[in-house]
Structure 1
Amino acid sequence: MTTRRTPTLAVFKLASCDGCQLTLLNCEDELLALAGEVKVAHFLEASSAVEPGPYDLTLVEGSITTPEDAERIHTIRAASRRLVTIGACATAGGVQALRNFADVDDYRRVVYAHPEYVATLATSTPVSAHVPVDFELRGCPIDRRQLLEVITAYLAGRKPDIPGHSVCFECKRRGTVCVTVADGTPCLGPVTHAGCGALCPAYRRGCFGCFGPAATVNLPALIPLLRRDGLDEDAVGRFLHTFNAAAFDKELKP
């Protein structure tokens, strides 16, 4: 009789706020069931017990912002059979990627009393810019249902069933009136990846693009609508450069 080997799960943090790791911890009842199916070998947010790889599934939160993390991510990748990045920081550079549009040394001098002791990179980049990634789970923070789907899918040996459509689909499903059509409210819903359940539009607020670009978007067609609804060129730039920073810029390039 062959004994079934328990798959191992590892969770690592780079430059981030810990919100996506907390999403996993907040799974509560589902987490108890998950704990019976996997062995958590590395998850410092939950336990100080650490076991060496290789890991069957690794979740990585956070962007690459320091020379140390630029090296560390290669070590993590080498120890991971499957590597999934979770959250806007890991998939798009996060809010901290706003440094990509400015001089990071200026920020460092303003924020730190002794900037010479702070080692940082000029840019904040997603994990996929440094190593191959098996799947990117978007969101700021990620959605717990999507996270559980990704974990269970890889444990079952199948591809995660995460739709690539926009937030507009979620508005339709929950019967939410379009805030752009009804109120003239600037909204990134037409170009933003689904996953939040259209939370902001449900409260008559425009989508802020927390989940980054959808699988197929037409951002050049949306920008005139944003300007029609009261945003000038600078305001449009600020609207796009928030949770996912430069991610939407890629959609504007021919």
Structure 2
Amino acid sequence: MRHRALRTLSARTQVHLHGRPGVPPARGGTAAGGEVAVSRPRLAVWKFSSCDGCQLTLLDCEDELLQIAERVDIAYFLEATRARSEGPYDVSIVEGSITTADDAERIRRVRAVSGKLVTIGACATAGGIQALRNAADVDDYLSVVYAHPEFISTLSRSTPISDHVDVDFELRGCPIDKGQLLELLSALLAGRRPNIARHSVCLDCKKAGNPCVMVAGDTPCLGPVTQTGCGALCPSFDRGCFGCFGPAETVNLTSMLDQLRERGVDDTGIHRLLNTFNTGSF
């Protein structure tokens, strides 16, 4: 996974509100009586080529989002409100991959006005399911899908945000996990590095006491090589892991492929298994 260590949003003393994580204050103008006004960190949420599922996860936080909104200024979030404010922004959260020349130019503008830039979801961190086109000629798809492909302007590849600009942190998943998202936002407000687990889904099954679907039923499963985030959702219902959160930090893919072949999965089946939400990442 490509990421840089997060720097604090501010070096100033933090303000603690209602037992919540510290909010690094930004100095504003002078208020009446000579007191220095304190402004909240400014947050922007951006969409590129994606299905909006990760932004919906943020909206699904509901009560937690209201608490976060008390501590930040949500300056740009078109999924939630028509209101918008110009940058700069303390934090930009970006969903979606880069698939057009306009996308590539726009993400550079977003990076230029963002103190921290965080990518969320498989599209933004790996190119998304739309990156399946990367293995073929995009013109072949255009002629099949669109009645008038001459009106479609697109790049030949779907690429993650980190291929175009510096990214401060990546949050994986299709969609992202609500708990991990809240941890990320809390960490940003507290000026610390997010504590996001890196172990495999396989360990989640052990914690939950799930029988191994590969051992018990010869079901193809990417749990041993996929990063945690879903709580072993699919294996908990006797289905194999589809790799929604991308490769774990340390994986033995060679051994994984051997296990799949022993269970009768041919090369075509392996290719299909590895190339879904995080195609090209494993």
Give the structure-1-normalised TM-score: 0.96
Choose from 207, 227, 245 the match for 1:193. Answer: 227
Paired residue secondary structure (1:150): helix
Q: Flag structure 2 segments of 5+ consecutive residues without an equivalent.
A: 1-34
Equivalent of 1:100 in 109, 130, 134: 134
Specify the alignment match of 1:111 in structure 2. 145
Matches within 5 A, 1:5-84: 5-84=39-118
| Aligned counterpart, 1:234 | 268
User: Are positions 1:218 and 2:252 aligned together?
Assistant: yes
Structure 1 counterpart of 2:275, one-letter code: H
Cα offset, 1:230, TM superposition: 2.2
**Residue type at the aligned position of 1:229:** R
Amino acid in structure 2 at the alignment position of 1:38 = V
Runs of 4+ in structure 1 deviating by more than 3 angstroms, as ranges, are none
Q: Percent identity?
A: 64
Shift in Å, 1:3: 3.1
Deviations 1:88-145 (A, max 9, x none): 0000000000000111000001111111110001000000011000001000000011
Corresponding residue for residue 205 of structure 2:
171
Give the letter for the 2:175 counterpart: P
CA RMSD between the two structures: 0.8
Aligned residue for 2:216?
Answer: 182
The CA distance in 1 between the partners of 2:100 and 2:226, in whole Å, is 28
Q: CA deviation at 1:204?
A: 0.5
* TM value normalised by structure 2: 0.87
In 1, Cα distance between the equivalents of 2:262 and 2:47? 41
In the alignment, residue 169 of structure 2 is paired with which amino acid?
F
Give the structure with the higher percent strand. Answer: 2
SS at match of 2:199: coil
Q: Distance in 1 between matches of 2:100 and 2:56?
A: 23
The CA deviation at 1:152 is 1.0
Establish whether residue 137 from structure 1 lines up as the match of residue 167 from structure 2.
Answer: no
